[in-house]
Amino acid sequence: MGCLAFDTPAQAFARVLESGPRVLAVGEAHAQQGSEGIPSTTRRFTELFLPGLAGRASDLIIELWAVDPRCKKEQVARVETEQRAVTQGQAAQNQNEFLALGHAAKRLGIRPHQLTPSCQEYDAIVRAGPDAVTAMLEMIARLTAAEAKALLGREGATGKMVIAYGGALHNDVAPRPGRERWSFGPELSAITAGKYVELDLIVRELIKESESWRALPWYPHFDKEKHPDKAVLFNPAPGSYTLIFPRSS
């Protein structure tokens, strides 16, 4: 478990990029209701890190769904209902901040891309019934991998970095048992010959004493009271990083 402290998040982020990844997969713990007074991970990535990727990254895949207009309205509405059950505890501005990230990328010359599920995929989620959430998680991983592979393999590809930005469940290079189908990490690591970096971004104040947080490999090694004004970077495995932001002002 490598662990380093940096004066600024930008310095920690630069260390992550030293390996020259072909795919940089950024995962976040989505901001929750009640945390609106703390700058979110999405906002920090947009403001602190994205400008430094201009000229180094060609494309940004964002975990936002674009609806295919050919799909049946009732089909889409059913899936949106299932989505709300998952996102109801999240901060209201999350989707708008994802959209703002895409607009900021475009201004910097980085092409943004949303995920576009097919009508058949919407239908599969509806038919999954009580397993609809699992079906959605698997679909997000599958569509992100497909989009990344298409960008990496397109004619005239520049060799610049492709960024994927979304939830931290999907970018694991070594997913936990039972979650393999939720992550695109192993597939993209294989097709890039290991030039894949998983980077989880964590807002310090949002770390809780809960089972889901304790299950993370860096959690036993982190003390919120130590180095509160530093950016802490864990490297729990090759190609895998967790960057914890300094405490908010």
Mean pLDDT, contiguous 10-residue spans, the chain (249 residues): 92 96 95 84 97 96 91 87 77 90 98 95 91 94 97 80 95 94 97 97 92 92 90 95 93
pLDDT at position 155 is 63
pLDDT at position 144 is 97
pTM of the model: 0.93
- φ and ψ at 125, to 5 degrees? -65, -45
CB atoms within 10 A of CB 169: 16
pLDDT at position 146 is 97
**Cα dihedral value 111, 115, 116, 122, nearest 10:** 180
pLDDT at position 156 is 64
- φ and ψ at 161, to 5 degrees? -70, 140
Alpha helices of 1-63 — where are they, by DSSP H? 9-17, 41-44
pLDDT at position 37 is 87
Distance, CA of 85 to CA of 125 (rounded, Å): 14
CB-based burial label for 218 (10 Å; 0-12, 13-18, 19+): buried
- φ and ψ at 32, to 5 degrees? -105, 160
Residues in contact with 19: Cβ distance below 8 Å, sequence separation at least 6, in sequence order: 195, 197, 239
pLDDT at position 235 is 95
Rg of the chain taking only CA atoms, in angstroms: 18
Distance, CA of 85 to CA of 87 (rounded, Å): 6
pLDDT at position 86 is 73
pLDDT at position 87 is 74
Domain ranges in the chain are 2-244
Fold of 2-244: Rossmann fold (3.40.50)
pLDDT at position 245 is 97
pLDDT at position 224 is 84
Q: Is the Cβ–Cβ distance between 121 and 75 less than 8 Å? A: no
According to DSSP, the β-strands at 196-202 and 23-28 are parallel
